[in-house]
Structure 1
Amino acid sequence: MELNNIQRVYLVGIGGIGMSGLARYFAHLGYIVCGYDKTPTDLTDALRNEGIQVVFDDSSELIPKSFRDNDEGTLIIYTPAIPKDSDILNFFQRKGFNLYKRSQVLGLISKSKFTIAVAGTHGKTTTSCMVAHILKDSGTDCSAFLGGIASNYQTNVLFGNNDIVVVEADEYDRSFLTLYPDTAIITSMDADHLDIYGDHSQLTESFQLFAGQIKSGGTLIHYKGLPLNGGVNYSIDGDADAMALNIRVENGDFYFDFKNSQTSIANIKLGIAGLHNIANAVAAIEATLRLGVDVELIKAALTSFKGVKRRFEYIVKNDRHIYIDDYAHHPEELRAAISSIKKLYPYKKLTAIFQPHLYTRTRDFADGFAEVLDIVDELIMLDIYPARELPIEGVDSVMILDKMKLTNKQLCGKQEAIALIKFEKPELLLSVGAGDIDTLVQPLKSILENV
């Protein structure tokens, strides 16, 4: 596939965070872009407002006429989350179109550019957004394909005037093996996606293969202790090639110092909260220093960084109530979010609403979820969000609750959870999960802002 020949792009699963970024990229270049997704969302509404046609009925009859003939001017991109019996997907297959995954297209786009790829089972979205923001804010510039909505820019794709591109490298379905970066950041390699990989060793091997695809003369930056050979390691615990030192909280803000073998930066104020985000910042600093970005400009960019939607995002923050929403859906992500909140607000009672994501992840990590959720003071548990999966016998949210020691816990539906928050009016609230728990954010915000 030669992207220079493309005139039209159809995306099957256009509403996904990564797919919508590609849709915006090709629309920005002036191509005809349209696509299908299962349900309307704020993101698909935004795409339609930007002039991109989106349909929600899986019918091949709705495919525009200009897309129905197989020629070299038409690019079809699909997400593996689309069911194999999709009528639209099968239409393109029957017609003999070459279908490309998002990751393959990212590989084609970044092939001739200086590519910074950020991978990891968690931390990759915030880190890639940090790197992109430092490059943008400092005037170095870049293009970027992000796995979340960057709050500084209110979008998941950025357009630059140079050949630097930042991409979030997704390990799901081994997608990141289509990338050959100049700089690769690997934030974490915890067991996840075992429905795809089978076991942790297969996931580890996949990350090692990704690290092996760095271009000759390129740089690997990885969190200290990961089973990777060579490269630059980083840490927030000291004793690393690049590290955060003197971490402290002052007036609700996180501060730290940075140090590597050549550079020291004192008194960095991070625009977002969380110990895990300091680790992400250390990786972003190391990557951008290697591109020659000025120390003071890096420091200023990190202070002005507003984070990513649904990544430790403050929804309400006033004298009476603190409400934070987070996308965490793995035990270690939950641990990072909860421990950061506890560090910020050690004397407040923490109420958490958690929605498990996927039956397989719940089955594989029930013990880990139970251990971490025991740290909160009150837990409101929602039913599992199945996403692409069918139910598994014996696997449900009660599986986690039964393993917990916490007594102040209960299973609720979403409307029950809203009613409970309205009654209790907690002073410190966390909603967390990767399913449709985000539909609770506005109702909960309204309750706590109007108390």
Structure 2
Amino acid sequence: MRLDKYDIIYFLGIGGIGMSAQARWFIKKGLHVFGYDKTSTALTEALQAEGMQIHFNDAVDAIPALVKENKEKTLIIYTPAIPKDHAEHAYLKENGYTILKRSEVLGLLTKNYKTIAVAGTHGKTTTSSMVAHILKVADRKMVAFLGGITTNYESNLVMNGEVTDDTLVVVEADEFDRSFLKLFPEVAIVTNADPDHLDIYGDHESVITSFKDFVKQINKKGSLIIHESIDDLLTHDLKDIAKVNYSMSRGDFFAEHITSKGGFFEFDLHGFGKVQHISLGIPGFHNVENAIAAAVATHKVGVDLATIKQALTSFKGVKRRFEFILKGSNVTFVDDYAHHPTEIEAFLRSLKSMYPRKKLSVIFQPHLFTRTRDFAKGFAESLSLADELFLMDIYPARELPIEGVDSNIIFKDVTSKKKVRCSKEDLMAALGDSTLELVATVGAGDIDTFVQPIKKMLTEKYEA
């Protein structure tokens, strides 16, 4: 299938982070881009400012006239988050439009280019953004479709130079719905293969099988960079694949002499022959490992070590990934997208190591009923690292409620010194009743809508 036969692109779910990156690509190519989404957000407002027409009511009458009048020239791209009873999707399907999933389009966009793909149930967005930043600093011709808004570029689409046959493409290889099996990368990073999306996979073994299938799709002349903890699990029966492994403390590439200066880490990186001293521009123990993987991947495609080190120092991170919202003299506020117990533990341990004398107050919004059900014990254990927990209701996203599944199945096992169950409506009041020193908002739902109100409250109460 050829994408260049289409002049009009219509996105169902254009406000999704992966969808919006593709939308930005098509509008930069000079195509007509339209979209639907459920609600208006800062991201959809940015897309509208870039020239895209977007509406927020699911109605056949709202489908743009250009789409209705030019079926053969229109490509419909949709996200699996679109509900089955979506009226516009049903109309477009019944009327014979070409309709593809986001993952299918990503596969088509990347198939003719040398691709660096980053897989893993967590760590994808930061690692792929690091890779993109290193390539841009190195002035390599590149395009990156990212799952977050990079702080350096204020976008989830990062480009450098004219798109030609030797352009490098950086993508997140998303395991949800087995989307990453549409990709055939030259270089692949696999950060982990923890259980997640069990509503799709059923069990952890099926997750592992999909990751094995992804690894098999790497170009035969390509390279695999895999976390040491899952190397044998995913590759023990694979032949004829060039691979190296990495981790914080062991493997072909590892860190030593890790120190923290002002919350940001420095370390010695082993594996390139001569030891390389790395200074990171972002906090978090887990980002030491992400930086190692990004360094190895970009070196594989010819970036010199001096440029890699320079880029890692100047990398400012990704919105909602260990993002400092307020660094006041009396209170510190950090926002993070973590929505899996392993991610939460890594984030909170890093925060506590940076501020060992401050009381840590965590506001967490669980994401998905199935994920809450499947990992309730793990959530309770990781959240218990907080001195004080404010636990919100589950954000349902694409799911309908499941009987007996709510935030209480986490709450009952949390062992923090203080814990509070709260809804969206009473969150601000609950925070106002507490004495706050180090505050973290955590979750993948719409908890981000509380970031600015919380910042305003903290500034007025503690910094005025």
Q: Name the TM tier (shorter chain).
A: over 0.9
Contact 1:12 1:78 in 2 (8 A): yes
Contact 2:369 2:394 in 1 (8 A): yes
Query: Is 1:178 the equivalent of 2:190?
Result: no
Q: Distance in 1 between matches of 2:425 and 2:289?
A: 36
Matched letter for residue 127 of structure 1: T
Matched letter for residue 66 of structure 1: L
Matched letter for residue 33 of structure 2: V
Partner of 1:253: 264
Partner of 2:227: 223
Identity, in percent, stands at: 53
Partner of 1:196: 200
TM-aligned CA deviation for residue 357 of structure 1: 0.6
Contact 1:135 1:142 in 2 (8 A): yes
Partner of 2:401: 391
Partner of 2:99: 99
Contact 1:70 1:95 in 2 (8 A): no
Determine helix, strand or coil for the equivalent of 2:234.
coil
Contact 1:187 1:222 in 2 (8 A): yes
**2:244 pairs with one of 206, 222, 232:** 232
Q: Distance in 2 between matches of 1:69 and 1:169?
A: 35
Partner of 1:110: 110
TM-aligned CA deviation for residue 127 of structure 1: 0.3
TM-aligned CA deviation for residue 407 of structure 1: 4.1
- Give the length in aligned residue pairs: 449
Matched letter for residue 241 of structure 1: D
Contact 1:425 1:448 in 2 (8 A): no
Partner of 2:54: 54
Matched letter for residue 289 of structure 2: A
Query: Is 1:213 the equivalent of 2:225?
Result: no
Over residues 212-245 of structure 1, what are the superposed CA-to-partner deviations in whole Å (9 max), with x where a residue is unaligned? 000120011111121221621111012x111111
Q: Distance in 2 between matches of 1:263 and 1:381?
A: 47
Of 226-235 and 415-424, the range deviating more from structure 2 = 415-424
Gaps of 5+ in 2: 236-240
Query: Is 1:285 the equivalent of 2:295?
Result: yes
Partner of 1:378: 388
Q: Distance in 2 between matches of 1:66 and 1:404?
A: 54
Q: Distance in 1 between matches of 2:304 and 2:435?
A: 46
Contact 1:310 1:327 in 2 (8 A): yes
Matched letter for residue 235 of structure 1: S
Q: Distance in 2 between matches of 1:128 and 1:263?
A: 25
Partner of 2:90: 90
Q: Distance in 1 between matches of 2:434 and 2:414?
A: 22
Matched letter for residue 54 of structure 2: V
Partner of 1:135: 135
TM-aligned CA deviation for residue 141 of structure 1: 3.8
Determine helix, strand or coil for the equivalent of 1:85.
coil
Partner of 1:320: 330
Of 229-238 and 163-172, the range deviating more from structure 2 = 229-238
Q: How does 1:406-417 map to 2 (within 5 A)?
A: 406-417=416-427
TM-aligned CA deviation for residue 65 of structure 1: 2.2
Contact 1:245 1:259 in 2 (8 A): yes
Q: Distance in 1 between matches of 2:352 and 2:11?
A: 42
**2:438 pairs with one of 428, 434, 438:** 428
Of 385-394 and 402-411, the range deviating more from structure 2 = 402-411
Q: Distance in 2 between matches of 1:251 and 1:62?
A: 51
Matched letter for residue 197 of structure 2: H
**1:364 pairs with one of 368, 374, 384:** 374
Tell me: CA distance 1:160–1:392, structure 2 relative to 1, closer, same or farther (3 Å). Answer: same
Q: Distance in 2 between matches of 1:150 and 1:263?
A: 31
Of 136-145 and 109-118, the range deviating more from structure 2 = 136-145
Gaps of 5+ in 1: none
Determine helix, strand or coil for the equivalent of 2:51.
coil
Matched letter for residue 308 of structure 1: V
Matched letter for residue 221 of structure 1: I
Of 280-289 and 243-252, the range deviating more from structure 2 = 243-252
Partner of 1:154: 154
Tell me: CA distance 1:256–1:377, structure 2 relative to 1, closer, same or farther (3 Å). Answer: same
Q: Distance in 2 between matches of 1:196 and 1:421?
A: 36
Contact 1:70 1:97 in 2 (8 A): no
Query: Is 1:273 the equivalent of 2:283?
Result: yes
Over residues 400-426 of structure 1, what are the superposed CA-to-partner deviations in whole Å (9 max), with x where a residue is unaligned? 111222341010122422123233341
Matched letter for residue 305 of structure 1: F
Partner of 1:437: 447
Q: Distance in 1 between matches of 2:269 and 2:324?
A: 26
Over residues 128-150 of structure 1, what are the superposed CA-to-partner deviations in whole Å (9 max), with x where a residue is unaligned? 00000011112224110000001
Matched letter for residue 363 of structure 2: I
**2:191 pairs with one of 177, 187, 191:** 187
Over residues 278-314 of structure 1, what are the superposed CA-to-partner deviations in whole Å (9 max), with x where a residue is unaligned? 1100000000111221212111111111111101100
TM-aligned CA deviation for residue 103 of structure 1: 0.9
Contact 1:173 1:196 in 2 (8 A): yes
Contact 2:14 2:23 in 1 (8 A): yes
Contact 1:254 1:269 in 2 (8 A): yes
Determine helix, strand or coil for the equivalent of 1:424.
coil
TM-aligned CA deviation for residue 251 of structure 1: 2.8
Over residues 198-225 of structure 1, what are the superposed CA-to-partner deviations in whole Å (9 max), with x where a residue is unaligned? 0000111001100100012001111112
Q: How big is the alpha-carbon RMSD for the aligned residues of Structure 1 and Structure 2?
A: 1.3
